[in-house]
Structure 1
Amino acid sequence: MARPHRHVLLIDDSADDRADLRQMLLCGGHRRFRFSEAQLGAEGVHQVLEAPQGPIDCVLLDYSLPDMDAPEVLAALCQGTDLPPCPVVVITGTAGEDGLKLLGAGAQDYIGKRWTTAESLTRAVDNAIERHAMMVDRRRAEAALRSSEERYRALFNSIDAGFAVIEMVSDGQGATVDARYLQVNPAFARHTGFADVEGRTIRELLPDIDPLWLEAYDTVASTGEPVRLVHRIESMQRWLDVYAFRLGAAQARQVAVLFNDITERKQSELALIAAKAEAERANRAKSEFLLSMSHDLRSPLNAMLGFAQLLEAGTPEPTPQQLESVQQILQAGWHLLGLINEILDLTAIESGQLMLSPQAVSLSEVIEECRAMIEPQAHEAGIDLHFVPCVDQPWRVQADATRTRQVLLNLLNNAIQYNRSAGRVEVRCTEAPGQRVRVSVEDTGPGLSAGQVAQLFEPFSRLGEPCGGPPGTGIGLVISQRLVELMGGCIGVDSTVGVGSCFWFELDAAPTPLARVWPARTVLCLESDALRLQRIEEVVARWPGVCLLRAGDLRGGIEVARSARPDAILMEITSPDRSAVLAMQQFAKDPATAHIPVIALGADALPRDVEAGLAAGFFDFLTQPVLSDAFERALGLAFERTRAGGQHATAAAGPAPRPAPAA
């Protein structure tokens, strides 16, 4: 492939000299040329800078011209720089002309006119073109480098975060022992408090520096993997958020460190954590206080209500004015009692101290119990209360029976209170997605707007009712929501203004239980209250093969236990008070009864009461109704323990008479 023509500009006032130069270039090598000519220096400068004949590859410049000499032409071509736009070879006439001066002015080479040959001239042109190209490339690289350095320096100095380049320092064995600061930005001093650190090491500034910093930087330098550190430097009393990455090759052992002083943020976080802990402690103390005061709050209130009821039904009958006053006392007392109970429930839920007893609950039984309790209120308010019968499906859910009843009663109470005159309330159970059962309470009240629905489950919202509306505490729905969620369900409402509302809750369905028979088992119940005893009798009667024995006090219970040696003992108590502990001690001291498990039943016990009861020696402490899976499970475990642990006692004391089932 033929080489391209080289465009050479000949600047010489002698036509013969220009012809000689052309001839020597054409004869001096195998490259092809094309020529432009100029007789004056100004004309040649114009052709180079304006390029009317195209770009010039090389200029052959006569030293002496009528209008200017070679240094003046070079100055015009360089335009204030030290390099003309194309290579220039000066043709000198005498040996006295200063060649170094020409090179300093921008010429690539110079050659004597009298001793120039075709070969030397061609070689001078080729070399000049190559050197000029190399110089142009170098100047471009230097300019790019300067520009890059300027951008880097501007960025380096403008970063608000602290920035440093460090070099790892090793001992004679190659182990990293320190790091030297090579470069830091202005923000470094602001974030650290140290100035003039370049050339100094980290240990010079911080002799007690935590080794983890140097270890982390050493790992970055060795592996090239960046690292993020958030740590406190004790000697500086500052928290630093550091991002470190390697610079260059591993052999350089240089690490770039970008960091921020986050001391204020950390102090705020720690203060917030401390404040949160203090608030939680205060909240727990408040909850503990309210829970521990539950009996103290309700006992005098119950006494007030009881004596007010005695006054209402007393002899002689109260006057109409007295009767009105007594009824006001009763109304306010019942309202206050409901408020106390609901606030205590909410407190127990929020403090995590509410004990639930998940079990298979029959919704039919819960609904029937609620019907019996709510029908008088509905009748008094003129509300038609309708329960859709559950004939086709014996609905059972996995829940706490007492709390399920509490939720349903609250929804029924709201449906009656917030209904229209001569309205209707309908209750039904339906199957819900995800193997759940939905209980719906639909009313014909005024309905709720979107804004009221959004605030519905907020404490003390009272369904958006103003003061003077239906009486209530305003936290019943909140408690219902929390209870349903604690039982693994969900609660909601569908409402239309002017039509009514349908409140519903869903719970996980429970399988239908199989009947269980415990052959020839005897249970002793220590209970002085006739109504509670009747409830336990009704529950135990559901299990064939179990005989229930009764005792009204501790003395009678010990005698029955010694003579009958039952498989389990039930003791219904309010809390593990002194009498309960005494009973356990009496049973434990007697060899004939020491092996018999004693189950405490307390419907209103705090977690600490349960712990104290178990510590006192009770086999179990149940806080749920006796009609529950938990009660059945506890009784079954008690029977198994009696069988396993009572054989020795039976052999020593002889066979005990098995009493006939109580009528």
Structure 2
Amino acid sequence: MTATASLLAAKTWQVLVVDDSPDDRAEVRRLLLRGSERRYDLAQAETGAAGLRAVLDADRLPDCVVLDYNLPDMDAVEVLAALVGPDGLAACPVVVLTGSVSQEYSRAVLQAGAQDFLGKGWMTPESLTRAVENAVERWAMARELLEHKANIKANAERLQLVIGLAGLGVVSIDYAARTCTPDATAALLFGLEPGVPVPPSAIHDRFHPDDRAAILRLDELGLDPSGDGTIAMEHRVVRPDGSTKWLSVKKQIVFANTAGVRRPVSGVLAAVDVTAKKLAEAELQASEQRTRMATEAARVGIWEWNLRNNTIRWNAQMFSLYGIAPTPGGIVDYTDWSGALLPDELDNNEASLQATIRSCGSSTRSFTIRRRTDGESREVESVETARRNADGNVEWVLGTNLDVTDRSRSERILRESEARLRGILQHSPAGIIQTDAAGCFILVNPRWCEMLGYAEVEMLGRSIFAITQSSHVALTPAAFARLAAGGPDFHIEEIYKRKDGSVLNAQVNIAAIRSPAGEFLGIIAVILDISEHLQSKAKLHRLAAELSEADRRKDLFLATLAHELRNPLAPLCNGLQVMKHLWNNDVALEKVRAMMDRQLSQLIRLVDDLLDVSRITQGKLELRKARIDLRAVVEAAVETSRPVIDQAGHDLAIDVPREPLFVVGDAARLAQVLSNLLNNSSKYTHRGGHIRLTVERERGTVKLSVKDDGIGIPAAMLEKVFGMFTQVDRTLEKTTGGLGIGLSLVKGLIEMHGGTIQASSDGEGMGSEFVFRLPVMTGIGAAPDYDGEQTIEVVPSALRRILVVDDNVDAAHSLGELLAMMGNEVRTAHDGEAGIEVAAQFRPHVMLMDIGMPKLNGYEAARRIRQHAWGHGMLLVALTGWGQEDERKKSAEAGFDHHLVKPVRIDALTKLMSA
């Protein structure tokens, strides 16, 4: 099945719809689902950037992208430019929706890489479905075509590489023009210029004088129109430098009928240098002659077999080799030989011997024997020759046996060693090279070629000095010469130029190669790519600096935190002392109580901010999003910050549109963001300053600005003010305090709402402005409406039995006393087991229980209470310092009815118990 057919046969398609209009996205969804019975898995994005992330970061690419032409951040052509790869094809099929039928738009999106386009004005279920399916099919076909072209190119490159590696030279012959054109290898073989056409005589002149006549005669036979035009020969050529080479040549002549006459029109001559083979053959012949002579003189086992009378005779070395006592006249039985062979080798050797006899030829065999005297195994090489008598019948077989056990073992060890060396060269993570005495590569392993981006054939013969970076050369010709002259081996750090122009940082260990006579033959080097090491080293230095800075900021934060905690704790302690002396003065006591309430609220806000920042950092903060009017958020934030602003004597100007500005968000968190910004401006503005809060609609977003005429922000700190524990070193800040987490919290909350925030200032003393933007809601979504923060009405409780269980004795007793003062009957316990025992006796209506307690935690205690009949109707409330969503889920699963986070407001608790 082709890729196209496979894709079209898929059951479910993943389609990404990129459009900033929710209505248009809904319309595309509706049309696709109506236009086809196919199942779709639809994803959405509002901006080009979000669409690109959804495509490029996805584990699985969409089957199609339906892309609006005009997006808030970019148009379709720009999105396609990011999707289209180096091969000119987008990462996945794309259909562009336009608001115009202009050919200019159509041409632009198709040229940019889209597979189809469709006007929104005439979009129907059928046309949209057809456009998506056409785009998928066209894209798949284009992908197959690109892969096919790439395969063709790769095959051609491999063929050319094989030809080059095989040392095959090719000459193209044009008989009409009477020219021969050699390629690079052929030009080297014949001593010509590569790619330059020459007359045939230029090649004929290279023929060895002793071979020229025979070559030309054979060439004439090949030109005979009645033949097949094929010529094959081996001959010598004389190169311009006077050296002689043996070539193995094959020539194919192509004929064509011209005016009824068959004439040669072209041809291809392929030649390969076989000089080494010829020399080896000559050496082999000489070696065989020397072997025969050596065999006659050496202690080689010699045997003869008279087939006429079936007599076998051995020399003394044969008896010694086989471990058999010599016999008179050296006469042995056939079984003396066959019985010594290993059983699984006997049949093959007998068959080979009989074939030699039948053909009256010669053969060489290898087999293993077990000596009769000691049972030792020996490897034997046997050579035999059959001889005819005067009548022409085979009568004699003469042979030799040579003990090659030691030689075979050495050859086996050598083969294994060579295999290990090849394995090391092939699979070594380091580059390994060898040069000749001039510094030219004669051996390169695959890793070295990979490191520099060259093919092996491109590297061999190249000078090692030609690939070093000119600005940094450690292995200079002078250093090479010192090594050649007997200098010590050394290692360096070198910078090499890759084929693509980039650089390779490498550690190079270099050693000289010398002949047994001490002659310098070249170098061998092991090269390690240390680019990542250097990058890691630089990164380590950078991280060390960042860690040092983080440590400094941590110390500053801890010192500031201690100061900030002491600020509310000091007046709280003072208030307790005052209350001891004013126990009968209600007015003074109320002032002290109000002051302590303010300081406690400040302490709670401080802890809440720390927890919020921690939850954002860990990704555990959850937003309670709804459809809200930002005017209500502004009102709530101003109400929260008004006491701080009024106390500082600032003038607050508010500019909010009269019409609603709907967004989807967490009203409480957005009010927290705006309140933090207002408090920040109040804190860093000298008394009697001016603060302006502006809200306005701006191109699909709502822009909120808090601007002041305070002490301003230095330019160097503008990019850092949103960092954790960041504090600008300013005199006013030191007097107003702060942990340096408020703006980090603001930034995190805004980004969780899909918004952005930016700080600006003209410098110190010039005031500052914080602007954040949120996506405006253009249609009514599924999120519930939010009408502003609900006021909690304190409803006095009826008399109830209440059990408070907390391992913090002070917390349990203080809450119990407060509830008792409200008319309730209260008991307390301080661990889970005690809580169950008291509850079984007291049978409370309401049980307020901590989670983390000794002996038995709150979860398990709640489960056990619910197992009793008296615990079924009880109101169980978890009262804990943990407020994450997973903690709330655990408490609900354990049997708690409600989950409240310490410190809890008594009015909220009373309201809950009265519900």
Normalising TM by the smaller chain, what interval?
A: 0.3 to 0.5
Higher normalized contact order (CA 8 Å, seq sep 6+, divided by chain length): 1
- State which structure, 1 or 2, has the greater radius of gyration over its C-alpha atoms: 1
TM-score, normalization: structure 2?
0.30
